[in-house]
Each structure stands twice: as C-alpha cells, then as structure tokens.
Structure 1
Amino acid sequence: MTAEQTGLRIQEALDALAGSGAEQAAEQLVRELMEFYGEGLARLVPELPPPALSRLLDDPAVAGLLILHELHPEDVDTRIRRALDSLPEPLEVLGFEPAAGTLRLRRTASGCGCGEAEVEAALACHAPEVTSLELERAPQLLQIGTRPPLAAEAR
C-alpha cells in the first residue's frame, strides 16, 4: 500500500466520524501516531548503511513514509529522477517549477508510452511536490530513404 492510498483511507475514516464529536479525538489520535512514528524513523534512518538506505528508497511505502515525515535524504530533483527511472519508458525532464509544482516532461521517440496515470502515481510516491504534470511528445523524425524510383515513376 502506498502512502497516498493510506492517506485516502485515513481521510475516509475521519470523514465517517465527522459530526459525531469523535472527529476531533480521531484527528488527535492520528497526530499523536504520526509524531510517534516520525520520532522512531528519525532515529532509525541515520543508522542505516548507505547501500541499504538507497535500496529502501526504491520501495514506495518506505519512500512515502520518509517524505511524509520530512526525513527523505534526497532532494526533490533526485526523487523525481528516481520516480521516472521506475517507469518502463524513458522520459526527459524539461523542467520543474517548485512554486507551481509543475513538472514538464517529454516522451522519448523510442518510448511506447506510459499512461499519464502511471507517471502521476510514480511521482506521487517519490515526489509529492509535483502537483501538475505537462507531458509532451517527442518530435517525430522524418525518415529519408535512398530507394530507387519505382518503375512507374521512372517512365
């Protein structure tokens, strides 16, 4: 389960409690648990050897937890690259505007085409700072051949 899916489930549970008076207690419970888990992770992460931590950063659940608790050791550009590297199609980063949360990407000519939802899911896990995606197609190359003229054209 991803951090995004977990967040949605928690929000659904809180919404179900809305208006019952238990909503405030449930929100306080979530805050307390988040603080507890965050403190534990903050102590654990620095103790991990770099190769082990690097492998764990590819795991969506681990990456999501570290981002949620602001403990992820990589900057946003590195996390965007990690997310894109997890996709079957290579994508070229044209630019990221942090203030707007907009990431501009270009599909490569050789790519078969990931769905936009697949790209958004990978980014949501590793780089939730990306809130808007602009996906361009690579320009198609014109292939010029040197075949001889057809018999009908030669006459």
Structure 2
Amino acid sequence: MDALRETEARVAQLVAQLSATPRVGERAEELVRLLMRLYGAGLDRITGMLPPDTVARLAADDLVGSLLILHDLHPCSTAERIGKALDQARHRLAMHAADLELLAVEAGDEGDVVRVLLRGERSGCPSSSVAAEEVIERAVLTAAPEIAAVRVQRPPREPDLLQILPGPPREDPATPRREARR
C-alpha cells in the first residue's frame, strides 16, 4: 500500500514539473511508467478478487483483454492466445484448404517472433498467398500484441512430376508396311 501512495505522490510531482522544466520528455516517460505501474497494480488486485471464469470473460473483451495483456495479467498464455487465433485464421482460410501449425514463439533481438507453418494451400496465385499471410499475421498480432513479428513458412515444394508419355508405335520388321492413303 505504501508503494502505491509513493507512486501517487510521484505522479503529482511530475505533473507539476512538466510545465516548469525543459526536460519534459524524460519526465513524461517517467510519468507514463509510474501510471502503468499504478494501474497494473489496481488491475492485479481486481482480477485477484474475481473468480477465474469472470476474469476469462473479461479477458475475452478486446479492450479489457489488451489491458490485461499489457500488464501481464491475462489468464491465457501467449501461446494459448496464438493457438486460438490460428484456429480462427484456419477457418477463414478454409476455402484455400490451408492448414496452420504453430512452430514456435521465439525471443528475438527486437521482441518475440512467432513462426507459423502454412501447408496445403491450393491456390498458386501470389496475391492469394499474400492474403493468406496477412490473415495469419493479423490474427496473431490481434491476439498477442506483445509479439514483434510473425513469420509464415511453407514446407519445401514438391518437385514437379515429369510425365512420360508413350511414343509412336515401333515398326515390326516382320509386318508389311501399308501405303498411306491420300
């Protein structure tokens, strides 16, 4: 409780200083960090008082869910949210007969990266392929805004089959030749 009171006092100080100091940007950043900490602590207390099913219903709301994600309070893990998003994307891509598989959520230099395998896509149209990637990326980033990037991979392409057709019939030397009619 004392830490929250200290945070409130520091917020009041920063608001007063913002107009009086040339280092407004630094103060504003500190103000935002402190407000985030304050609101995060409040949300943590609220969700701690609620039954899990109520928290899950709140998390399903876009705004509340994103606030819970922002403060690391969402009841579903990042991987669970991405899995649900890929299920929804799979339904949207059903006409392309595409299948999706979550390969990994990896830490990268610029943030976490999601790798998704896209298999069985029927259309060879490049614009359809780009549209499928956009559906996947939008679904993942909506469900997990903390993700920095989505990488869609495809399995190696099967080599085209070489079709061998029978050639013209061979002549048997024992069979007499027929003259062509004109």
TM > 0.5 between the two? yes
Unaligned runs of 5+ in 1: 1-19, 141-155
Q: Once the 2 structures are TM-superposed, how far is the Cα of residue 78 of structure 1 from its aligned partner?
A: 0.7
Higher relative contact order (CA 8 A, sep 6+): 1
Say if 2:152 is the partner of 1:134: yes
1:120 pairs with one of 128, 133, 137: 137
Cα 1:85–1:62 shift into 2, 3 Å: farther
d(CA) in 1 for partners of 2:58 and 2:122? Answer: 30
**Distance in structure 2 (CA, Å) of the matches to 1:108 and 1:72:** 33
Offset from partner CA, 1:81-126 (integer Å, 9 cap, x none): 1222343336521411423423223255589875433432332232
Q: Residues 42-94 of structure 1, C-alpha deviation per residue, up to 9 Å, x if partnerless? A: 01112233333223333332222112111122222211112223433365214
Larger radius of gyration: 2
Give unmatched runs, 5+ long, in structure 2.
1-21, 159-182
Provide the residue aligned with 1:51 in structure 2.
53
Judge conservation of contact 1:92–1:106 (CA < 8 Å) in 2: yes
Q: What's the CA shift for 1:130?
A: 5.5
RMSD: 3.2
Task: Select the residue among 80, 93, 103 that pairs with 1:95.
Answer: 103
Report the Cα distance in structure 2 between the residues aligned to 1:83 and 1:116, rounded to whole angstroms. Answer: 13
Aligned residue pairs, count: 121
Is the 1:103–1:134 Cα contact (8 Å) retained in structure 2?
yes
Letter in structure 1 aligned against 2:136: V
SS at match of 1:124: helix
